[in-house]
Structure 1
């Protein structure tokens, strides 16, 4: 579509953004759905976030995707937050309506949607999540919001452990009917005990990510049962050692992180435009690899 004087714009802010595939994906989707928008990327450091957001509002920007290091600051600047963004304390998607910033976080939405697309659901399930960083927190929060029964969080006793404990408290205070427990990842006996109680296991750490493709936090693969669901937030490589071993053990569903990436983008597109992203075409063009 041709850019004209009425063309609206969306953008990505964060740093660095030069490697991002978001402009190509969203501009392609705007063209396929015949919408008069363009999508740009702006390199914005943390100390320039407030200034950048103010400028984007003044310029009539329709909405913003947010990546590191700006996610937490943008949540502070938002006029309204979705339940997920409030619990996570970070935004990756903001839409501007009537001059107000409405903040969302679609990472967990993308994770849960990817499970559903493959025949799994978090509702009434017991879930073990390894990790307590941004992606892990988003997954834990969205699982709770969508009806998970119990969530076990395992993380190393590092700076993120307190974050995991804080997340657990916030979820239990905000979401009725869910129990959240936090344990040190170093306690492998407790980890395997809780995995055996679970329906779904999630890796949301960097374990297995390039260049450490031969790493997996699960050393005892006997915990993988045929009716078990295993999901990894890591998408490079497309199949981590965890996912390969889960498949080899016969787990009914074993998913890498590419689908989460696709569906969180679709959720943002829907928030931006009110329409569905052409996910099949987008997957074939940008994600099949």
Structure 2
């Protein structure tokens, strides 16, 4: 028999997470930037995923900076675009790209949902994943190069808008009614955590801010940037619906795929201008 002393039970965490808790959750789960996660519960997940576009803005600005600097120093738009695309991959340890590849392998398999999820959990990447990964990266670099060729300002703004759209797509995918495909992992932690009204309001704010940021470039540019956000969210929504039907819910890999697909769609729209 051992002596032990147990203090009074700890109070349950509050029903609402603070903005600081949410910011830490967003940066701690979606980036490699130093952010110690202080809470890992549903309120923190809700606030954290509402803060996800803020993490995207920081990633986008950090990605745009070296690309714009290269152009100012005399480099070509292709090099600037390639470096800009590489920075978000480094700031996420390639997790979103890995999620895109795994999701492509899962969707490409002809197996039932449970078997497809097992394929996605494997450490290797199959042919569907490799082809999807290569094509998406080529399209992202090509689209950004088109925008950078116009001006370094437009290129930097495009990088920021694409990164915000990518994380906003994750927020919308966390809305209530979207189930997790597995009982564990990041997907289960955040799935269904965000109220639908909050997600819709955040999307409207993001569209308005993207248009406002591009307004100094002219009204057509403002409209194009708003359309880019909407196109990215539409592409992500189509992929989300497919994944929910195919896997019976979402996983962390699916969130990564949504981010990359939405960013790519936004960049394509911006390149068309």
TM-score norm. by structure 1 comes to 0.24
TM-score norm. by structure 2 comes to 0.25
Higher helix fraction (1 or 2): 2
Higher strand fraction (1 or 2): 1
Q: Which has the higher contact order (CA 8 A, sep 6+)?
A: 2
